[in-house]
Amino acid sequence: MQSSLFSNLQLPNGSVLPNRLAKAAMEENMADAGQLPGPAIQRLYYAWAEGGAGLIITGNVMIDGAALTGPGGIVLEADTPLAPFMQWADAAKHKGAQVWMQINHPGRQVMAAMGGRAWAPSAVALDMGKHSKLFVQPKAMNSAEIREVIARFAATAEAAERAGFTGVEIHAAHGYLISQFLSPLSNQRKDEWGGSLQNRARMLLDVVRAVRARVSAGFCVAVKLNSADFQRGGFTEDDARQVILWLNQMPVDLVELSGGSYESPAMQGRTADGRSLAREAYFLEFAKELAAVAQMPLMTTGGIRRKAVAEQVLAGGVAVVGMATALAIAPDLPAQWQAGGDQVAHSPQVDWKDQVMAAVARMALVKRRLRLLGDSRTARGNHSALWSLVGDQLRTRRLTKRYRRWSQARV
């Protein structure tokens, strides 16, 4: 019998999702001073908990304070004070949802203005056209640095469990560090960490093993994986299938399928290799194929905003429906659907000639909405993409100065 959106799901470790709708990760950039979660992000996650999603996945939490995707990023290291994270977890769990912390290292996807370090499998810089100079030149990691990062993932996962989160999601997609190791475009190593897919996947598999060894059996361990990079010569659908087969042999509770990177933002519906994606549920066709070989539940995320499309995802053999932007626009969408409605959350549209800046402006509009929710305010009307972008850039400059002061004080 086909599962409904509001049937529960037992995961491989025995824990249960109360329904099949997940709040997927979005980068909030809402850290308080000290790169810690504060009242604003607690209120934001309280709103999502009230909204009825069965699984809430945080925006990426950084495992290394010297390497952030953005200056407002939250950092959780082995010695980070846990009280703010406990309050965050409590706010997100108060309606019974599973709450997983997405844990991440950006690798080479670090803004030059940040002044942090950009470790990567190889010293291959991002190709963002005329915007490339905004990103730092990466440094190829040595074996000791790779082992350090693996240990950091495990330490952050252990800290997340102590703080009251019910799981972690290891970010191995969207062109961040583990994704960079998986892709032959960014991983040009000749040692045991590069070359064959088995070598390129070694970091991901070692991170999973290290995390699982540090947390309890009832704590969920998930992986976010690209179905493809959508770049010619990059990580392919066949590669994703093989990685799933390897993950089948490990204690992984769920794999979320997405796609793309900063260079090819398929997660926003655009690709660098010219392939077309569905208007909604961008990666569903890939997920259907991978569901045929996956032994753990799969989740797919990417543009889903209608109940009928969410039901199509389940009908395709995918166990969990991930929504991100839709739940920034309408955080109570799951509750509305469960009450019998079929409301649609319309995503912001920015049709500018410069596609990179259009993507940044869309993100600025979404982040503006998240901050409004964190302030317990309701957005009214349509906001200007241009002014949202300008405001976000000014805010980013302020946060960058704050981050640099914090980072220098840690040395």
**pLDDT tens-digit readout, 140-187:** 999 999 999 999 999 999 999 999 999 999 999 988 999 999 999 999
| Chain position carrying tokens 């039901």 | 311
pTM: 0.92
Q: Is residue 4 part of a domain?
A: no
Q: Is residue 207 part of a domain?
A: yes
Quote the number of domains for the chain.
1
Q: Which candidate, 46, 47, 55, places its Cα nearest to that of 23?
A: 55
Q: What is the pLDDT of residue 242?
A: 96
CA 133/CA 127 separation, integer angstroms: 9
CA 306/CA 309 separation, integer angstroms: 5
Q: What is the pLDDT of residue 263?
A: 61
Q: What is the pLDDT of residue 125?
A: 87
Higher pLDDT, 12 or 346: 12
Q: Is residue 389 part of a domain?
A: no
**pLDDT tens-digit readout, 233-244:** 678 889 999 999
Q: Is residue 258 part of a domain?
A: yes
Q: What is the pLDDT of residue 273?
A: 43
CATH code, domain with 244? 3.20.20.70
Average pLDDT, integer, range 263-281? 50
* Contact indicator for 254, 279 with CB cutoff of 8 Å: no
Other Cβ atoms less than 10 A from the Cβ of 261: the count is 26
Q: What is the mean pLDDT of the chain?
A: 89
Quick one: what percent of the chain has pLDDT higher than 70? Answer: 89
| Distance set, CA 354 to CA 233, 299, 357 (Å) | 24, 31, 5
Residue 264 CA, chain-centre distance (Å), reads: 16
First to last CA, the chain: 58
Average pLDDT, integer, range 85-95? 97
* Contact indicator for 24, 301 with CB cutoff of 8 Å: yes
Q: Which candidate, 145, 225, 134, places its Cα nearest to that of 178?
A: 225
Q: What is the pLDDT of residue 375?
A: 87
**pLDDT tens-digit readout, 186-196:** 999 999 999 99
Higher pLDDT, 279 or 83: 83
Name the band, by pLDDT with cuts 50, 70 and 90, for residue 287: confident
| Chain position carrying tokens 């490339």 | 132
- The CA R_g of the chain, rounded to the nearest whole Å, is 19
Q: What is the pLDDT of residue 294?
A: 96
Q: Is residue 133 part of a domain?
A: yes
Q: Is residue 378 part of a domain?
A: no
Whether 16 has a pLDDT exceeding 70, the answer reads yes
Q: Is residue 387 part of a domain?
A: no
Which range is least confidently modeled, 7-21, 69-83, 110-124? 110-124
Whether 279 has a pLDDT exceeding 80, the answer reads no
Q: Is residue 108 part of a domain?
A: yes
Whether 72 has a pLDDT exceeding 90, the answer reads yes
Q: Domain residues for 45?
A: 9-347
Q: What is the pLDDT of residue 1?
A: 44
**pLDDT tens-digit readout, 213-266:** 999 999 999 999 988 666 676 788 899 999 999 999 999 999 999 876 666 554
